[in-house]
Structure 1
Amino acid sequence: MHFAYPPRKSSNPPPFRPRTSAIPTIRSRRLKTIGLVCLAFLTLVWLFQRGGSRRHAPPAYHKPSGNPPVVIVTVFNEGKYGKGYLDMVKENRLKYAEKHVLRLRPPRRTRLVGQPPRRPTRHDHVPDAAYIWYLDQNAFIMNPNLKIEEHVMKPSRLEELMIKDHPVVPPDSIIKTFSHLKGHDVDFVLTQDKDGLSSSSFVVKNGEWAKFFIETWFDPIYRSYNFQKAEQHALEHIVQWHPTILAKLALVPQRILNSYSKEKGGQDYKEGDLVVRLYACGEAGEDTCETESQRFAQWKTAFQNS
């Protein structure tokens, strides 16, 4: 068997020749070219990222101007109540809004069986309003002379009204309202009834915190919990488990913002109160909302005389 051998190196190698100056010149040119290409590439990457960050940057925060001072939001269920009754509720809101040069937002909605009621999002509201007042459709404004921004939300007024160091969910919740909270720190005002927090009448200060709060309250994860009382129990849950929300919350006496037509539900309406809510009025029978509303028809006279 034969194997091929590599050729032997010559024992007489050629004489040493120094490198010519052309080779370093060529290499330096190549390095310069490569450097320019890399610089151009990095410049393009930087410009692309800069342009992309502009396209995807969050919108600049819009600070509400306070004009109008308040937006009233009422959600109407036109498939459940009669037209006459709903027209009366709309008239009540419009008269109050006109008197105080406010805005009214009555979004329509259709509620499916078993679906929690829809609360308004910040996108439903006039962006420049200082405050957003949600008022249930089964409630009437009774005192046209009281302004939300003065009667409830003025910091010095809140200092007088706030119920401090009080169980969030009565009677014995270990989570209590903050004892050191100041009026200017409050962004969310509501009341309690005998069952717990009442979401039938509440006020939120418009701004970034309001957006965060509404989105948290109706986050899909809380909807999936299937709370027995839907949004009310979801509200009680996030208030007790999220200090970020509790730190902005103020409880006020029920008659300040949310009097009831029946004492068994909570504090009942007295003459001069801002609002009366028709407590537990039904769709049929003797206790329909329309029948119950007749007991408080004096709101029309109050507006005429104001």
Structure 2
Amino acid sequence: MQFALPPRRNLNAPPYIRSSRLSLQRRKQLKAVAILGFALLTVFFLLSQFFYTSTGTAAVSAGTPSLVIVTVLDRVRWSDTYIQKIIKNREDYAKRHGYTNFFANLSDYESSLDNAPKSWGVVPAVRHAMASHPHATHFFYLDVHALFMNPSKSLDSHLLGKSRLDSLMLKDVPVVPPDSIIKTFSHLKPQDVDLIMTTDSEDLSSGSFIIKQGDYAQFLLDIWFDPLYRKYNFAKAEAHALDHIVQWHPTILARLALVPQRIINAYSKDSSSAGVDGNYKDGDLVIRFFGCDTDTKRSCEKEMDPYYRLWSKNSKTE
């Protein structure tokens, strides 16, 4: 019985000639792809360094404001004359220092307040401002019942500069006066600050504060506006909610700086609850008519009028 034999191999022929040629060609292709990929990654890296700052935030074009002043306007309750005075005062200040204003309408947020006091509008207004100005660094919320009285002082030199802020920060003091056992951090550095506030004689002031754009701000605003707090019926609504949050959330407290009241929150002489040396004096940046909208014996418009006339006179001479 015979068996078919396989074809005889030429032992002198190089094995896999075709496969070898294909492998060489593929290696060349892969090498070219690798070089191209590396080149693209290099270009992307260089562009990312050009368009992004060292902090990881997108670089912005010249002229983009670094600070936004946030004001909530209740156009139903207050006269147009009163509101236009507030707008004129803040637009003048912003224009002098390269800032911009965000005038929010309270009516835009009332549906989200779930019947909570209207003063809660501060939280969605600040969030709205941040969404509208994603490249701004800081946001200064200032209650509508307040005026800039010293237009020559920029917030950058008056408060936000590192050396200036370091000199103003109140360390190891009660977060909520007069005797809270929770105190501000004694080792906090200016570069680690994301929230700047003042207190009066009773509470943290939710009517005048500066917050830095970023994850911390989103975290704080999310917690602050939680339905649990809005529906808790705090005696002073969002102010007492903030007192609670800052005292019992170390993550929030860890990046909070308290500064003297008159730096950004000087109270008028008719306002109660001013802290030690918290009443307005000539030369202060801001005067705030705290409580003028809740005290039936007071009138916000009448209280503001003489200060508005003084500001108008002084602003024309500068």
Which of the five TM-score ranges fits, normalised by the shorter chain?
0.7 to 0.9
Aligned residue in 2 for 1:88: 85
Tell me if 1:247 matches 2:254: yes
C-alpha separation between the residues in 2 aligned to 1:270 and 1:108? 31
Post-superposition offset of 1:90: 0.7
| 5+ long unaligned stretches in structure 1 | 1-60
Tell me if 1:179 matches 2:186: yes
Aligned residue in 2 for 1:53: none
1:40-89 CA distance string (max 9 Å, x none)? xxxxxxxxxxxxxxxxxxxxx97264731110000001111111111100
1:162-216 CA distance string (max 9 Å, x none)? 1111011111111000011111111100100012111111001112211111111
| 5+ long unaligned stretches in structure 2 | 1-54
Post-superposition offset of 1:240: 0.5
| Alignment counterpart, residue 298 of structure 2, candidates 274, 284, 287 | 287
User: Do the aligned partners of residues 65 and 196 (structure 1) sit closer, same or farther apart at CA in structure 2, a change above 3 Å counting?
Assistant: farther
After the TM superposition, which parts of structure 1 deviate over 4 Å for at least 4 consecutive aligned residues? Answer: 111-114, 283-286
1:161-176 alignment runs, 5 A limit = 161-176=168-183
Aligned residue in 2 for 1:63: 57
Aligned residue in 1 for 2:315: 303
Q: Which amino acid aligns with 1:72?
A: I
Q: Which amino acid aligns with 1:276?
A: I
User: Do the aligned partners of residues 99 and 79 (structure 1) sit closer, same or farther apart at CA in structure 2, a change above 3 Å counting?
Assistant: same
Tell me if 1:275 matches 2:275: no
C-alpha separation between the residues in 1 aligned to 2:65 and 2:251? 27
User: Do the aligned partners of residues 62 and 81 (structure 1) sit closer, same or farther apart at CA in structure 2, a change above 3 Å counting?
Assistant: farther
Aligned residue in 1 for 2:241: 234
Aligned residue in 1 for 2:22: none
C-alpha separation between the residues in 1 aligned to 2:211 and 2:172? 21
User: Do the aligned partners of residues 285 and 196 (structure 1) sit closer, same or farther apart at CA in structure 2, a change above 3 Å counting?
Assistant: closer
Q: Between Structure 1 and Structure 2, how many residues are aligned?
A: 247
Whether contact under 8 Å (1:64, 1:127) holds in the other structure is no
Please tell me whether Structure 1 or Structure 2 has the larger radius of gyration of its CA atoms: 1
Q: Which amino acid aligns with 1:290?
A: E
- Compare 213-222 and 281-290 and name the one that shifted more: 281-290
C-alpha separation between the residues in 1 aligned to 2:294 and 2:231? 28
Whether contact under 8 Å (1:72, 1:104) holds in the other structure is yes
User: Do the aligned partners of residues 116 and 261 (structure 1) sit closer, same or farther apart at CA in structure 2, a change above 3 Å counting?
Assistant: same
**TM-score normalised by structure 2 residue count:** 0.73
Aligned residue in 2 for 1:78: 75
